[in-house]
Amino acid sequence: MTWAEVDLTVVRQNALAIKSYVDDRKLIAVIKSDAYGHGLVPVARALRSVADMLAVATVNEAIELRNNQIDTPIMILYSSLPQDVSAIIEHDLQPTVSSPEFCKSLFQLASEKRRTVRAHVNIDTGMNRDGIRYQQATSFIDWLLSLPQIEVASIFTHFATTDVNKSSQMYKQLDRFKIVVSELRQQNILPPIVHVASTAALLSPISTIRTDFNAVRVGLGLYGVLPVMMKRMPFPLSPALTWKAPVISVRNVKAGESVSYGSDYKANIDQKLATLRVGYGDGYPRQLSNNGQVMIKNKLYPIVGQVCMDVTICSLDSYNTVSVGDTAILIGQEMTTNLPVNQLANRAGTIPYEILSQINKRVPRLYNTS
Ligand SMILES: *Cc1c(COP(=O)(O)O)cnc(C)c1O
């Protein structure tokens, strides 16, 4: 079996560190996609009384939270469809709205049930994937005020890039958003919460967005992971997840023998190999074939041959004492050696978000609160 250990105290400490970095502005904790693989409900519980709001991507994720007695306000980050309206009202969820048709269905059912729904407006300032275009945002929000059952709790936007080398794109989006904010303020209809900063924007050295608005909407940072390799952090965050797998088999191969499917790895000297019980069927990226590294007893070893569905093979050196039953670390830290998820992501040609959210259901999560 392969497993992931998640330290919920670390998640909570990261959340507190973020809150203090933004001088106690509101924290909208993004826990979509099973809390980036860390476990939706356990993470939500760990953030109780720290997160002012939880954010998920789908109505089903929100219902799972409600079914587990999580009573923190929950926003749905993306547009919902009319068929979601009854669940939204029944479970007291806060949708993100941009379509008048959807708002009319929401208004109708809310009126029938005599309920008020809090909603959020995503303002599309250049990401071009969801939300109301910034040119229409003010009149849309003004129109929403004509639907008394819908209360606009917040407005937000999301940046397409926070890369320092592309800061002009970020500033362009920020300028567009600030224009909408000032229009709404002039008309006295600015919603109480205004937020733009995801993890990368929060940590970005190129702007003041962490203090420009009164909430931040952070995912990856909660888990102690940075969107990119950053040389300096303005405050400390610690990774909460360690992914482990056992050595299930050890063997010696002679120079010239091949390893795993496709025989695309050939030992050029006599070698000792260890086979780990983890594969792409657990979400371990196949792109790490002949390319990744694993850690055993505080030492890094290269993956050799193709990552299989259930097993992965690494090449040991001649000084090792690795044997069956030992534990390999796939993501994490041990004594002086560190194997961060960002390094895995780089080698696999992807981003830490994908690595974490792909860790499969077959991988049990073990929780400890240190
Ligand atoms: C996922 C998501 C976030 C969180 O982003 P991180 O980079 O994980 O902090 C914020 N806003 C929206 C709209 C998202 O979809």
Taking only the tens place, the pLDDT of each residue in 216-262 is 999 999 999 998 766 677 889 999 999 999 999 999 999 999 999 99
Write the CA distances from 131 to 6, 195, 262, integer angstroms.
34, 14, 46
Angle at 238 (CA atoms; ends 55, 12), nearest 5 degrees: 45
Q: Whole-angstrom Cα distance, residue 314 to residue 246?
A: 12
Q: In this structure, which residue's CA is closest to atom 6 in ligand 1?
A: 219
Q: In this structure, which residue's CA is closest to atom 4 in ligand 1?
A: 219
Using the mean position of ligand 1's atoms as its centre, give its distance from the Cα of residue 219 in Å. 6
Question: Using alpha carbons only, how large is the chain's radius of gyration in Å?
Answer: 24
Question: What is the set of active-site residues?
Answer: 32, 261
Element (H, E) at 18: helix 8-21
Residue in 78, 94, 198, 199 to alter for ligand 1 test, most ligand atoms within 8 A of Cβ = 198
β 132-133/193-197 pair status: unpaired
Pocket of ligand 1 (CB under 6 A): 30, 32, 77, 158, 198-200, 217-221, 227
Angle at 351 (CA atoms; ends 348, 353), nearest 5 degrees: 125
Q: Whole-angstrom Cα distance, residue 321 to residue 135?
A: 65
Q: What is the tens place of the pLDDT at every residue in 137-147?
A: 999 999 999 99
Q: What are phi and psi of 179, to 5 degrees?
A: -65, -45
Q: What is the pLDDT of residue 229?
A: 61
Q: Whole-angstrom Cα distance, residue 125 to residue 150?
A: 23
**Residue type present at position 185:** R
Using the mean position of ligand 1's atoms as its centre, give its distance from the Cα of residue 155 in Å. 15
Q: What is the pLDDT of residue 210?
A: 75
Which atom of ligand 1 is nearest the CA belonging to 218?
Answer: 9
Residue in 14, 22, 30 to alter for ligand 1 test, most ligand atoms within 8 A of Cβ = 30
User: Hey, what are 141's tokens?
Assistant: 């929000």
- Nearest residue to 368 (alpha-carbon basis) of 5, 4, 41, 2: 5
Q: Are 91 and 62 in contact (CB under 8 A)?
A: yes
- Nearest residue to 295 (alpha-carbon basis) of 259, 243, 251: 243
Q: What is the pTM of this model?
A: 0.97
Using the mean position of ligand 1's atoms as its centre, give its distance from the Cα of residue 235 in Å. 20
**Maximum Cα–Cα distance across the chain:** 78
Q: What is the pLDDT of residue 370?
A: 64
Instruction: Evaluate the CA torsion angle 258, 261, 265, 270 in order and state its sign.
Output: negative
Which atom of ligand 1 is nearest the CA belonging to 200?
Answer: 7
**Neighbour tally for 298: CB within 10 Å:** 11
Which atom of ligand 1 is nearest the CA belonging to 122?
Answer: 13
Q: What is the pLDDT of residue 227?
A: 85
Q: Are 250 and 275 in contact (CB under 8 A)?
A: yes
Q: Whole-angstrom Cα distance, residue 41 to residue 61?
A: 9
Q: In this structure, which residue's CA is closest to atom 14 in ligand 1?
A: 77
Which atom of ligand 1 is nearest the CA belonging to 198?
Answer: 9
User: Hey, what are 26's tokens?
Assistant: 């509101």
Using the mean position of ligand 1's atoms as its centre, give its distance from the Cα of residue 96 in Å. 14
Q: In this structure, which residue's CA is closest to atom 15 in ligand 1?
A: 77
Q: What is the pLDDT of residue 204?
A: 84
Q: In this structure, which residue's CA is closest to atom 8 in ligand 1?
A: 219
Q: Helix 134-144 to helix 167-186 angle, to the nearest 10 degrees?
A: 30
Using the mean position of ligand 1's atoms as its centre, give its distance from the Cα of residue 188 in Å. 28
* pLDDT less than 70: residues of the chain: 207, 229-231, 370
Sequence-distant (≥ 6) Cβ neighbours of residue 288 within 8 angstroms = 303, 307, 312, 344, 347, 348
Sequence-distant (≥ 6) Cβ neighbours of residue 236 within 8 angstroms = 17
Using the mean position of ligand 1's atoms as its centre, give its distance from the Cα of residue 131 in Å. 14
Which atom of ligand 1 is nearest the CA belonging to 227?
Answer: 7
Using the mean position of ligand 1's atoms as its centre, give its distance from the Cα of residue 110 in Å. 28
Q: What is the pLDDT of residue 176?
A: 97
Q: What is the pLDDT of residue 366?
A: 98
Q: What is the pLDDT of residue 368?
A: 86
DSSP percent split of the chain into helix, strand, coil, nearest 5: 35, 25, 40
Q: What is the pLDDT of residue 211?
A: 77
Q: What is the pLDDT of residue 326?
A: 98
Q: What are phi and psi of 313, to 5 degrees?
A: -115, 135
What's the burial of 23, exposed, middle or buried (CB within 10 Å: 0-12/13-18/19+)? exposed
Q: What is the pLDDT of residue 234?
A: 83
Q: What is the tens place of the pLDDT at every residue in 78-124?
A: 999 999 999 999 999 999 999 999 999 999 999 999 999 999 999 99
**Neighbour tally for 148: CB within 10 Å:** 11
Residue for token pair 């993004």: 30
DSSP per-residue codes, 162-183: --GGGHHHHHHHHHHHHHHHHH
How would you classify residue 201: left for phi > 0, otherwise alpha for psi between -120 and 50, otherwise beta? Answer: alpha
Residue for token pair 């004492």: 321
Element (H, E) at 75: strand 74-79
